[in-house]
Amino acid sequence: MFKKGREAVVMSLRFITAASTIGTLIEWYDFFAYASVSPYISAKFFPKGDPIVASLLTWLIFATAYVVRPLGAVLFGHLGDRVGRKATFLATLTLMGLSTFAIGLLPTYEQVGVLAPFLLALFRILQGISLGGEYGGALTYVLEHAPPNRRAFYAGFLSATPPAGLALSSLTLVSTSLLLSRADIEAWGWRVPFLFSIVLTILGVYLRLRLTETPLFEAVKREGKVAKVPVVEAFTKYSKWIVVGVVISAGHAVLAYTSTGYIFTYLTQVAKLDPLTVNLVVGVAALLQYPFYIINAWLADKYGRKRIYMAGLALGLLTYYPIYQWLGTARGLAETIFAVFILIYATAFTFSVLGTAIAELFPTRVRYTGMSLTFNIGVGVFGGFTPTVVQLIGISLQNPLAGLILYTYVVAALALVVAYFYLPETAAKRLE
């Protein structure tokens, strides 16, 4: 009888992790669909004439979603810490799915002029608000169900969703190209990844409707300890952890968006690869990362979050500049995929533990808000602008790799120092 009960708990935890992971995967797919079709967006939503200006404007709109992510963190964090985790991250998934689907229906610049980029920015903002509450909510939900000695492992499945979402969005476009001519892809086929998101959203909503509230949050409600204004309490009582969390989030973010954002610009404009080939390269390289996220999360339960995170930053600092140099002269599809794989591999260390390390710094009553806000300030301010800043530095110094040293390396090095001196180890710590 005891064995059956134990199996039920394990199966329940597996379903909780699966439902949370699938929903978050869909969110990242929706979010990264923009990066996957960025060359087509440049051509469709801005005046023709200067492709570099169009590319910069495309990435600036990409960045708007990051600027508003802290707003989403405050809004959905408040709901998550006051109303509950389940209802809140059901709302984030629905908002993201509808916003992404709407982008697939937008008119182009040729059809409606400046209204086209305005509408594009509007729906990117809604995506950003949604994602600001999604990842923190899903990760908090899983952590509050998982046993102390396996929290990082179960959360690792959520942490692996960004590369999986990037791979899914890129490979969706590549698969579409096998069915359509190049002319059709450029005319309307680029919309398919956005429109396909509605199918995934329905699946995610169905799974999340079957979830229940976390036992830790139920205990907080039962004891009357729900925070009145979670964001105020997080800033007044846990400001030190917010600062540390923002810096370590920024360190991961600059690596992530140098390897998965700026890479699209670099491979199309410097390496002169066509957009579909770039999507194939990035999609395959990202997909191959998946098991390493899970392995590193498993290792974090054994050896600590701090060591795994710092190893990723060190790897990025050692490899990014030489790998980008290599990509400028790489020949052959396999060689290019391998080089991009090495680039993204550093984030398989940093992101596999980042969310867990931050969430474990906050108590249950403000965990959703604290984790979401901290993570999204770091990623939003530093990560979202990475492709634009790196490209602008490269243009002004007439060296496409200058931004790696002057921006990516500086932020990552700062994060490494802060993590070493100020990030506490929280492995196996009992959640309050």
Taking only the tens place, the pLDDT of each residue in 30-50 is: 777 887 788 888 889 888 877
User: Distance between alpha carbon 227 and the CA centroid of its chain, in Å?
Assistant: 27
* Distance, CA of 351 to CA of 165 (rounded, Å): 14
CA distances for 99 relative to 5, 18, 36, 171, angstroms: 41, 24, 16, 21
Kindly tell me if the per-residue pLDDT of 266 is higher than 50.
yes
Answer yes or no: is pLDDT of 2 > 70.
no
Percent of the chain with pLDDT over 70: 97
Is the pLDDT at 4 greater than 50? The verdict is: no
pLDDT reported for residue 279: 84
Q: 249 falls in which pLDDT band (50, 70, 90)? A: very high
Planar angle of CA 403, 409, 412, nearest 5 degrees: 135
* Tokens (6 digits) for 8: 């039920």
pLDDT of residue 393: 94
Q: Indicate the domain borders of the chain.
A: 9-213+222-422
Band of pLDDT at residue 9, cut at 50, 70 and 90: very low
**9-213+222-422 classified as CATH 1.20.1250.20:** yes
Scan for tokens 């954002």, then name that residue: 261
Helix residue spans in 180-274 (DSSP H): 182-187, 192-208, 215-222, 230-237, 239-259, 262-269
Average pLDDT over residues 206-226: 89
The whole-number pLDDT of residue 386 equals 87
Residue with the bigger pLDDT between 419 and 14: it is 419
Of the candidates 88, 100, 280, the residue with the CA atom closest to the CA atom of residue 195: 100
Mean pLDDT computed over 326-343? 89
Question: Token pair for residue 409?
Answer: 């390396």
Ranges assigned E (strand) in 203-327: none
Q: What does the block give as tokens for 77?
A: 């964090």
Asked whether the beta carbons of 362 and 136 are under 8 A apart, the reply is no
pLDDT for 255 equals 95
- Calculate mean pLDDT across residues 161-188: 85
Contact by Cβ (8 Å): 422, 361: no
CA distance 319 to 313: 10
pLDDT band at 11 (very low <50, low <70, confident <90, very high): very low
Backbone angles phi, psi at 318, to 5 degrees: -80, -30
Which stretch of 299-308, 361-370, 378-387, 404-413 has the lowest confidence by average pLDDT?
378-387
Whole-angstrom CA distances from 365 to 88, 99, 143, 369, 376 are 15, 30, 14, 9, 19
pLDDT confidence bin for 350, thresholds 50/70/90: very high
Q: How confident is the model at residue 296 (pLDDT cuts 50, 70, 90)?
A: very high
In whole angstroms, how far apart are CA 378 and each of 58, 70, 178? 21, 9, 38
**Mean pLDDT confidence for 125-144:** 90
